[in-house]
Amino acid sequence: MGKISKKVLQRIEKENIKPIGKWSFVLKNSFLWSLFGLNILFGSIGLAISIYLFESSDILNLILSVNDFLGVLILAIPTVWVLLTVSFLIVAYLNFKYTDRGYMFSFRKIFVINTLAILILGGILHLSGVSERLNRVFSESFSEYDITLDPRYKIWSAPEIGYLAGTILSVSEAGIKIEDLDGNTWSVDTSEAKVRRAVGLIEGEKIKIVGNVVSESTFQALEILPWEGRGRNMQEKHF
Amino acid sequence: MAVKNGKKTKEEKELSDLEIVENVKKDLNAYRYVIERYESKLLRYIQRILYISTEDAEDILQEVFLKAYRNINSYNPKYSFSNWIYRIAHNEAISFLRKKKITISNTEDEDIFDRIPSEEDIEDDFLESVKSSEVRDILSKLDQKYREVLVLRFFEEKEYNEISEILHISSGTVASLISRGKEKFKILIQKYGKNI
């Protein structure tokens, strides 16, 4: 028996070294793959909610009516959700890299695979309406969620530049009364407004309004859009 | 299992790595055949990449075999056992460098390396030249990452995909490291070759 093999076998016996069970390696690898899957799922959810919030801001509808479109466009990007999506993408990359065969793939390949996975799954989650439902759950569960993460609260809280949103308090022939996103009450003249089909104009309904400030608490509405979902592609009707 | 009076029978000599590994799982004594099959190869490999004394290299080698035994169940029979155990040797060598905080390469040469034209070509006779002892001394002046791929490719005669398995880097990265390593090597030959 060689010198090294003798020493090694003696140490194995003396220190009572045993091979680590196969299950331990299987568990470790499964854990990494599960973590990878979860990060892709979370990234997809982040992307789906980002798309939903961006679409719901109706920014693309306002291209022609906004003076500072770039400024509003930046406001419409749900930054926190986009950052979360990117973070999950990075963690998913690391998970993949440390799986047993992850080293075989270059950074570019893993990045493209992960991005495609998040884009496809995120698109499906958005189109199937999961993003809207999840956003509602977050909104109802966390009090500060809307103000901090929903870009609509920034864009549509600017009556001075023509964007107002709120909940309808009452409806009359002369117009409607709303409570805006900051809790202020407004009388809104809707006589010349185009109302999107998805808007019911009923008490308790949350809406977005494009128009002008007439006085301190009076707003002239030019267009009324639904709070949830896209306002575009709806048949327009005059009030 | 065919273990008689501590001597290898013909059957054991012909056993594949995979068969020996299966035997090890049942009987610790079978592990000596793994050690005997790989000790000289791995000892040379460790010395070539670390430039340390035989004593130190043997200490590392012991740790390699202990670690391999502990982790024998993580070996996937779909892949080469040789590459698996070389991977462990690589990890132990890196761990040794970290513990001892050893830097082998000569950092003064880094500026020279950065000026090497990338199209520089030293191909067909490389394998022959790299085996001379003079060249081994020059190899010690290379960065660890270049030295290790060159050792694996030209001393251990591993293929790119095998080096990829051992170092856990993509085959593309292996190709790029070998190519750049050879270029840097040539510059060193020109600079130090006559003085060694």
The ipTM value here is 0.71
pLDDT at position B195: 52
Task: Enter the tokens of residue B154.
Answer: 């030209």
Task: Give the whole-angstrom CA distance, residue A102 versus residue A95.
Answer: 8
User: Do A143 and A163 belong to one domain?
Assistant: no
Q: Report domain extents, chain B.
A: 3-100, 107-195
Task: Give the whole-angstrom CA distance, residue B173 versus residue B166.
Answer: 13
Tell me if B35 and A103 make a contact (CB, 8 A cut-off). no
A121 CA to chain B: closest CA distance, Å? 28
Residue B177: in which H helix or E strand, if any?
Answer: helix B171-192
Q: Is residue A26 part of a domain?
A: yes
Tell me the average pLDDT across A116-127. Answer: 96
A14-28 burial: b if 16+ Cβ within 10 Å, else e? eeeeebeeeeebeee
pLDDT tens-digit series, residues A86-117: 999 999 999 998 888 888 888 888 999 999 99
Cβ neighbours of B172 in A, within 8 Å: 106
Q: Is residue A93 part of a domain?
A: yes
pLDDT at position B158: 93
Q: Which of A147, A169, A191 is the last residue of a domain?
A: A147
Which CATH topology does B107-195 take?
A: Arc Repressor Mutant, subunit A (1.10.10)
Which range in A62-66, A224-228, A230-234, B173-177 is most confidently predicted, on average pLDDT?
B173-177
Q: Is residue A2 part of a domain?
A: no
Partners of A185 in beta bridges: A179
CATH 3.30.479.10 fits B3-100, yes or no: no
Place of tokens 């409806």: A171
B29 touching chain A per CB within 8 A: yes
Inform me whether the pLDDT recorded for A66 exceeds 70. no
Inform me whether the pLDDT recorded for B151 exceeds 60. yes
Rounded to the nearest 10°, the torsion over CA A65, A68, A73, A79 is -140
Average pLDDT along chain A: 87
Q: Which of A98, A126, A147 is the last residue of a domain?
A: A147
Task: Give the whole-angstrom CA distance, residue A234 versus residue A2.
Answer: 84
Inform me whether the pLDDT recorded for B105 exceeds 70. no
Q: Which chain A residue's Cα is nearest to B76?
A: A100
Inform me whether the pLDDT recorded for B123 exceeds 90. no
User: Do A125 and A83 belong to one domain?
Assistant: yes
Q: Is residue A152 part of a domain?
A: no
User: Do A35 and A133 belong to one domain?
Assistant: yes
Residue B143 CB neighbours (<10 A)? 19
Q: Are B26 and B4 in contact (CB under 8 A)?
A: no
Confidence band of B136 (pLDDT split at 50, 70, 90): confident
Task: Give the whole-angstrom CA distance, residue B39 versus residue A6.
Answer: 12
Q: Is residue A15 part of a domain?
A: no
B170 touching chain A per CB within 8 A: yes
Tell me the average pLDDT across A106-131. Answer: 93
User: Do A131 and A189 belong to one domain?
Assistant: no
User: Do A135 and A44 belong to one domain?
Assistant: yes
Tell me if A17 and B172 make a contact (CB, 8 A cut-off). no
Burial of A193 (0-12, 13-18, 19+ CB in 10 A): buried
Place of tokens 């496809």: A120
Query: Which structural domain, as residue segments, surrounds residue A91?
Result: 22-147
Inform me whether the pLDDT recorded for A201 exceeds 50. yes
- Cβ within 8 Å of B, A 23-52: 24-25
Inform me whether the pLDDT recorded for A154 exceeds 80. yes
Task: Enter the tokens of residue A158.
Answer: 């600017």
User: Do A36 and A142 belong to one domain?
Assistant: yes
What pTM did the predictor assign?
A: 0.72
pLDDT at position B194: 53
Q: Which chain B residue's Cα is nearest to A98?
A: B168
pLDDT tens-digit series, residues A19-33: 999 999 999 989 999
Q: Is residue A216 part of a domain?
A: yes
pLDDT at position B102: 60
User: Do A230 and A116 belong to one domain?
Assistant: no
Cβ neighbours of A100 in B, within 8 Å: 76
Of B39, B58, B73, which is closest to A20 when you measure between CB atoms?
B73
Which long-range contacts link A199-203 to residues 24+ away (Cβ below 8 Å)? A199/A224, A199/A225, A199/A226, A201/A168, A201/A171, A201/A176, A201/A239, A202/A168, A202/A171, A203/A168, A203/A169, A203/A170, A203/A171
pLDDT at position B11: 53
Question: At residue A203, what are phi and psi to the nearest 5 degrees?
Answer: -60, 140
Residue B54 CB neighbours (<10 A)? 11
Inform me whether the pLDDT recorded for A130 exceeds 90. yes
pLDDT at position B13: 62
CA B88 from chain center: how many Å? 10
Tell me if A106 and B170 make a contact (CB, 8 A cut-off). yes
User: Do A97 and A132 belong to one domain?
Assistant: yes
User: Do A51 and A139 belong to one domain?
Assistant: yes
Residue A54: in which H helix or E strand, if any?
Answer: helix A22-56
Residue in A48, A93, A22, A24 with CA at minimum distance from that of residue B77: A22
User: Do A175 and A234 belong to one domain?
Assistant: yes
Residue in B73, B76, B90 with CA at minimum distance from that of residue A18: B73
User: Do A43 and A110 belong to one domain?
Assistant: yes
Confidence band of B116 (pLDDT split at 50, 70, 90): very low
Inform me whether the pLDDT recorded for B2 exceeds 50. no
| Between residues B25 and A43, the one the model is more confident about | A43
Tell me if A19 and B66 make a contact (CB, 8 A cut-off). no
Task: Give the whole-angstrom CA distance, residue B20 versus residue B69.
Answer: 12
B35 CA to chain A: closest CA distance, Å? 6
Tell me the average pLDDT across B63-87. Answer: 93
pLDDT at position A44: 97
B84 touching chain A per CB within 8 A: no
pLDDT at position B106: 43
Residue A211: in which H helix or E strand, if any?
Answer: strand A206-215
Q: Is residue A8 part of a domain?
A: no
User: Do A43 and A134 belong to one domain?
Assistant: yes
Q: Are A207 and A165 in contact (CB under 8 A)?
A: yes
Question: At residue B104, what are phi and psi to the nearest 5 degrees?
Answer: -85, -35
Q: Which of A107, A124, A147 is the last residue of a domain?
A: A147
- For chain A, the domain total comes to 2
Burial of A93 (0-12, 13-18, 19+ CB in 10 A): buried
pLDDT at position A209: 92
Q: Is residue A14 part of a domain?
A: no
Inform me whether the pLDDT recorded for B117 exceeds 80. no
